[in-house]
Amino acid sequence: MENKNGLNDNNTFAEVLYIKMVSINPGLADLELYEFQYLLKNITPELGWENLKIIPMKDLEKLSQDENTFLGIQLNPVKREKIILDEKILCLDQILMFGLVKEEYPIEWVNDHFYFDIRSFCFFFRTKYFSPETLKHFGNQPLFAFDQKQIQFDHVQEIGYKEFKNANQEIDQALIKILNQVLTVKGSPLLITLAGPTGSGKTEITERIHNYFAMNNQRLTTIEMDNFYKDREFRDGKPYGPHVIHYDLFIKAMQDILAGKSIDIPSYDFYQALSSHDLDGNLRDGKTSIHIEPADIIFLEGNFPFYLPDFDKLIGLRIVYLTDDPIRLKRKWRRDIDYRKKYDPVGFVNRFFRTQFLRAKEIYVPLMKVSDLVVDTTAAKLWLTPELANEIHISEKVAR
């Protein structure tokens, strides 16, 4: 194998690539070169690196914004009775690595558009959550910024709950104080929608908020939006929207609980992918509803388009709880693969690669454009709309 850098064998190629990849992901410095070579061997092109063709950077950038790039990813392709990495993901890895060695792709450009996960040993497109429109919505600057504690995770391959919780402690405490201020100004009952990508920490922060307000003798309840899902067989292939949930039951339940009434909502079985209610909203024989008592604060947790006009007026506060994709992936390696053993590891990589862009485009980016508050735990920044900040008379002294 020959190129302008004199790389004429796979060992030399690996040595040069290893040095460059440490600049992409510092955690690779914890690997010996021979360990890196083990990983690299799994994705080495059958015909050799020298037969690859460089793709122009502008074309790769276009791919990162094209939903067809992600829709075409197979979740569980099989070869020799084993689930394998989708061919398009493998090709992207090979092209980027070859381009780095050939010095066709600057490291800064790669880091701006991609991130590299050590455990899956592949590149992922970097999701851009903050659009110019979103930044303008929040006055073009965060209201509070803290030390970026998640930087400590740069070297690790997976992240546990305790480490994640400790890294977010300061920004989470600020969020709780802001919520307390919102409740003081707006009064109760207060309906709060909490959305965020899987692995961002929604469930954990809701639990900590619950504990805080419980200690102050305030009632808080959490409603899982997922329980309103219709059967997966009905939902498959459909975009998020009122038609994929028991929407009439949902609206009625929200109206009742805000009026101080107890409610009974559907229950969704994730193992069987079935709702307790049929498609017409009737309780099925042998199934039970979930009973929920009224509360001062009602947290509606889930990734539904909460900006729908007929529901929007019921919401007291819209929150997006955001953690950047590389961190969430490391969390999911520990939680979903090591502990829950929820997916085949290679199928998990295919799934994560496919869904992150699609979910961001469909759910989180639109929600951020209309939310009142965004918690960006990775950047350690709290974004409040100027309207909310003025309404609750928030200041830095309140949050710290």
How far is the C-alpha of 16 from the C-alpha of 3, rounded, in Å?
A: 12
Confidence of residue 2 (pLDDT cuts 50, 70, 90): very low
Contact, 253 vs 297, CB < 8 A? no
Burial class (CB within 10 angstroms; exposed 0-12, middle 13-18, buried 19+) of 357: buried
How far is the C-alpha of 14 from the C-alpha of 324, rounded, in Å?
A: 29
- Tokens at 206, concatenated: 């809701």
Confidence of residue 307 (pLDDT cuts 50, 70, 90): low
Domains and CATH numbers, the chain: 10-125 (no CATH), 132-219+295-399 (3.40.50)
Contact, 297 vs 218, CB < 8 A? yes
Where do we find the tokens 């539904």?
304
Contact, 309 vs 363, CB < 8 A? no
pLDDT tens string 322-337: 999 999 999 999 999 9
Q: Report the greatest alpha carbon distance in the chain.
A: 75
Q: Quick one: which of 123, 100, 173, 87 has its CA closest to 399?
A: 173
Provide the pLDDT for residue 49.
93
- Tokens at 316, concatenated: 């007291």
- Mean per-residue pLDDT of the chain: 91
φ, ψ for residue 174, nearest 5 deg: -65, -40
Confidence of residue 9 (pLDDT cuts 50, 70, 90): confident
How far is the C-alpha of 134 from the C-alpha of 400, rounded, in Å?
A: 25
Q: How far is CA 138 from CA 26, 37, 372, in A?
A: 33, 46, 8
Residue 301 reports pLDDT greater than 90: no
Confidence of residue 306 (pLDDT cuts 50, 70, 90): low
DSSP codes joined into one string, 321-352: EE--HHHHHHHHIIIIIIIS--S-HHHHHHHH
Provide the pLDDT for residue 237.
73
How far is the C-alpha of 124 from the C-alpha of 54, rounded, in Å?
A: 18
Question: Which residues sit opposite 144 in a β-bridge?
Answer: 382
Other beta carbons within 10 Å of 263 = 22
What angle is formed at CA 163 by the lines to CA 160 and CA 169, rounded to 5 degrees?
A: 135
pLDDT tens string 157-216: 999 999 999 999 999 999 999 999 999 999 989 999 988 999 999 888 988 998 998 888
Other beta carbons within 10 Å of 399 = 20
How far is the C-alpha of 374 from the C-alpha of 23, rounded, in Å?
A: 30
E strands present in the chain:
78-79, 82-83, 114-117, 122-125, 144-145, 190-195, 220-224, 263-265, 268-269, 274-275, 290-292, 297-301, 317-322, 373-376, 381-384
Provide the pLDDT for residue 397.
44
